[in-house]
Amino acid sequence: MPPAHQATLATPAVDAAPPDDCLARNDWICGAYLDTRRHILVDAVVQHLQITAIAVAIALVIAVPLAVVARRWGWAAGPVLALTTVLYTIPSLAMFSLLLPAYGLSATLVVAGLVLYSLTLLVRNILAGLRAVPEETRQAARGMGYGPIRLLLTVELPLALPAAMAGLRIATVSAVSLVTVGAIVGYGGLGNLIYSGMNTYFKAQVLTASALCVVIAVVADVLLLGVGRLLTPWTRASRS
C-alpha cells in the first residue's frame, strides 16, 4: 500500500489521513493537527503549567525570607544580591546541565533551574518594595505597639506587595518561556513538541506549540495583574 506508506512518512501518527489534507501537506496552520493530537497538546500544556507554577511558587517561598533578611541586616543585602545575580548570568542550557549530576534527567531538574532564575527577579523586587516602605509608617506602627513580626506581616509586606507582584509577573513570564529549554532533558512541556517538531520538520506542531507558549505567558501575566489588583485595593483608591 504505497500511498498509505507515504502519508505515514509525512505524518507519523495518522495512518488513515487522506494524502491531500493539511497534515500531509505539512502546512503551518492545520486544524487536523489540533483534532488528532489534542491529548498530546493538553499533556504538554499541563506539564508546562506544572513546571512553571511549582518553580515560581518555590522561588517565592525562598525569596521572601531572603529579602526580609537582606532588609533587616544591611550587611546581608550585598552577598544575597550578588549571589542571585551570578545565578541569573548562567545560561539556561548550562544551568540545567550543571544541575544534572544533582537531579538527573527529571522534571525536578528543570524546576530547580527555573527556581534559581526566578530568585533574582523576586529577591530584587521584594527587597526594593520593602525598602520603599516609609520610615514614618514603620515608626507609627511601632508607636502603636506592633512587634517586629507583626510589623513585618501586617505593615511592611503588604506595602511591598505592588513591587513584589511586578517581580512575580516578570519571573512568571520568563519562566514560561524558559521551560521550553527543558526539552534538552525531555521535560520542557511545549518545548518538547517544538524540539521533536524541529527534528521531524513538522511545521504545524512547532507553530501551535510556540503560539501556546506565548498565550500561556500572556494569560499568566494578565491573571497575576488581576490578583495584584485584588490584593492591593488601596493602590486603586489612591489613584482615583
Partner 1 sequence: MKTIADAWDWLADASHWAGDDGIWHRLAQHLVLTVVCLVVSCLIALPIALVLGHLGKGGALAVNISNVGRAVPTFAVLVLLLLTPLGQYGEGPTVVALVLFAVPPLLTNAYVGMRGVDRGVVQAARGMGMTGKQMLLRVEAPLALPMIMNGVRIAAVQLVATATIAALAGGGGLGRIITAGFNLASTPQVVAGAFLVAVFALLVEGLFEIAERFAPSWARGSG
Of 57-65, 124-132, 140-148, 208-216: span binding partner 1 (CB under 8 A): 208-216
Copy the grid coordinates of residue 127. Answer: 527587597
Helical H runs in the chain? Answer: 2-10, 22-25, 31-36, 38-72, 74-89, 92-98, 100-103, 107-131, 135-143, 148-151, 157-178, 190-200, 203-231, 233-239
CA gap 13, 194 in Å, rounded: 17
Q: CA angle, corner 73, sides to 150 and 87, nearest 5?
A: 110
Cβ closest to partner 1, residue 127 vs residue 212: 212
From 201, 223, 225, 234, residue interacting with partner 1 (rule: CB under 8 A): 201
CA gap 66, 77 in Å, rounded: 9
Cβ closest to partner 1, residue 19 vs residue 91: 91
CB of 158 to partner 1, least distance (A): 25
CB of 221 to partner 1, least distance (A): 7
Near partner 1 in 109-168, by CB under 8 A: none
- How many CB atoms sit inside 10 A of residue 99's CB? 18
Place of cell 500511498: 3
Nearest to 215, CA basis, from 69, 83, 44, 68? 44
Nearest to 135, CA basis, from 229, 71, 66, 228? 71
| Structure letter (DSSP) for residue 19 | T
- How many CB atoms sit inside 10 A of residue 7's CB? 21
* 214 contacts partner 1 (rule: CB under 8 A): yes
From 115, 133, 185, 224, residue interacting with partner 1 (rule: CB under 8 A): 185
From 178, 187, 192, 224, residue interacting with partner 1 (rule: CB under 8 A): 178
* 218 contacts partner 1 (rule: CB under 8 A): yes
Of 6-14, 89-97, 122-130, 146-154: span binding partner 1 (CB under 8 A): 89-97
From 84, 118, 174, 192, residue interacting with partner 1 (rule: CB under 8 A): 174
Of 58-66, 122-130, 157-165, 205-213: span binding partner 1 (CB under 8 A): 205-213
* 23 contacts partner 1 (rule: CB under 8 A): no
- How many CB atoms sit inside 10 A of residue 20's CB? 8
List residues near partner 1 by CB under 8 A: 86, 89-98, 100-101, 170, 173-174, 176-178, 180-181, 183-185, 191, 194-195, 197-198, 201, 203, 206-207, 209-210, 213-214, 217-218, 221
